[in-house]
Amino acid sequence: MGDVDPDFIQAAEHRPTPHTIEAENIPLIDLSPLKSSSDSNNALAGLVSEIGYACENWGFFQVINHGVPLECREKIESASRKFFALPKEEKRKVTRDEVNPYGYFDTEHTKNVRDWKEVLDFTVQTPTTIPVSHEPDDKRLIQFINQWPKDPPELREACEEYAKEMEKLGFRLLQVIALSLGLKKDRLQGFFEDQTSRIRLNYYPPCPVPHLTLGVGRHKDAGVLTILAQDDVGGLQVKRKSDGEWIFVKPIPNAYIINIGDIIQVWSNDKYESVEHRAMVNYEKARFSIPFFFNPAHYTWVEPLEELINDQNKPKYKVYNWGKFLTTRNHGNFKKLAVENIQISRFKT
């Protein structure tokens, strides 16, 4: 990303020194039982228990034997590397803007001490519909379509194939999470008929001052689930619930990292918690990652699920509209406002 601006270094030097633990990894879960045709076998019951434990105690887990073809992942990773290797002027031909949040973005010109990366965002469902404004009385909607670069020519097809596989895995995981909450396995499926899911291609260039910055600052994901593919360089860190320590997530070949988002925290009425995480950069190596953000329709009203509410477990959140919430987030992210993004804590009862 070029030479480092002195103002960037001066601002970044005030960041706290990262302290991480590398001796432990998040839970690793084998999804093989999902291939069984029986819903009552012991293996599936064990899987439900494992995922429930991971959601409640970590908010994160890795999965293997997930059913996503390796070839599909290799195709999108290869095409992504070709895209980010292009000259900046080529990549910026599909730059996102305040109107359309899908496209290319880099942090080089922002002097943003939080992030050190380039990204290409695309929506899974085309077009994707969300509210024009966060104002409650504004009923206008806007539809977004993707901006696809001409080069590399195989990128679009690779991304669209990958999105279909991520959807399949997302729905399989939702079924197990629903079962772990004591719900019917298809309880959460209906929220995604007009989903607002998206995929981000992340490129973190080598950083000359990795101790002074982050690839992505500490945050929680606002949606339902995030399914992350990361390369062998690694860099993801998770804040451990038990003691608040930052845990380095060791890369496992062809595994996916799953984290529950704020919506599942609200649906579960705080039984499951969305957990803070961040991404580190590397001095010598570029790093790539591909998160799939599994999000419901814009008209979804998010609140604790009625099956989980009773006199002993009263609702801990007021209802909010996902589309309005998302529009507020998009506006804040583009403007790079000097305030925190809207958080679900605002809706606590």
Q: Does the pLDDT of residue 245 top 70, yes or no?
A: yes
User: How many CB atoms neighbour CB 215 within 10 A?
Assistant: 25
How long is the chain?
349
Is 50 exceeded by the pLDDT of residue 340? no
The kind and range of the H/E element at 73 are helix 70-84
* Confidence at residue 339, expressed as pLDDT on a 0 to 100 scale: 41
Q: Exposed/middle/buried for 258, CB within 10 Å: 0-12, 13-18, 19+?
A: buried
Tell me the fold of 6-125+144-300: Jelly Rolls (2.60.120)
Q: Which of 43-47, 230-234, 282-286, 334-338 has the lowest mean pLDDT?
A: 334-338
Cα first-last separation, the chain: 44
Query: What per-residue confidence (pLDDT) applies to 124?
Result: 97
User: Strands, E, within the chain: which ranges?
Assistant: 20-21, 28-30, 60-64, 104-106, 118-123, 128-131, 141-144, 198-204, 216-219, 225-230, 236-239, 246-248, 256-260, 277-279, 287-294, 301-302, 320-321
Torsion, Cα 75 83 93 145, to 10 degrees, reads 20
Determine the average pLDDT of the residues in 235-262.
Answer: 94
Separation CA 228–CA 217 (nearest Å): 16
> Does the pLDDT value for residue 242 go beyond 80?
yes
Q: According to the model, what pLDDT value does residue 247 have?
A: 93
Cα separations (Å) of 283 from 73, 84, 152, 233? 26, 18, 27, 11
pLDDT for res 18: 43
Q: What is the pLDDT of residue 98?
A: 78
Lowest mean pLDDT of 82-96, 274-288, 296-310, name the range.
274-288
Q: Per-residue pLDDT averaged across 161-177, rounded?
A: 98
Question: What is the distance between the alpha carbons of residues 233 and 281, in angstroms, rounded to a whole number?
Answer: 9
Q: Which residue has better confidence, 332 or 255?
A: 255
Residue 7 pLDDT > 90: no
* Centroid of chain to Cα 321: 19
The two tokens of residue 193 are 């008929």
Q: Which amino acid is at 320?
A: Y
For the stretch 16-27, pLDDT in tens is 444 444 446 899
Give the pLDDT confidence of 94-148 residue by residue, as tens digits: 999 878 889 999 876 555 545 678 999 999 999 999 999 989 899 999 999 999 9
What pLDDT, on a 0 to 100 scale, did the predictor assign at position 102? 94
Question: Mean pLDDT throughout 55-82?
Answer: 97
Distance of alpha carbon 53 from alpha carbon 30, whole angstroms? 14
Average pLDDT over every residue of 38-65: 90
What per-residue confidence (pLDDT) applies to 337?
A: 42
Comparing C-alpha atoms, which of 249, 216, 233 is closest to residue 287?
233
The pLDDT > 90 percentage for the chain reads 70
Q: Give the residue from 247, 314, 306 showing the smallest Cα distance to 275.
A: 247
How much is the pLDDT for 207? Answer: 77
If you average pLDDT over every residue of the chain, what do you get? 87
For the chain, the structural domain boundaries read: 6-125+144-300
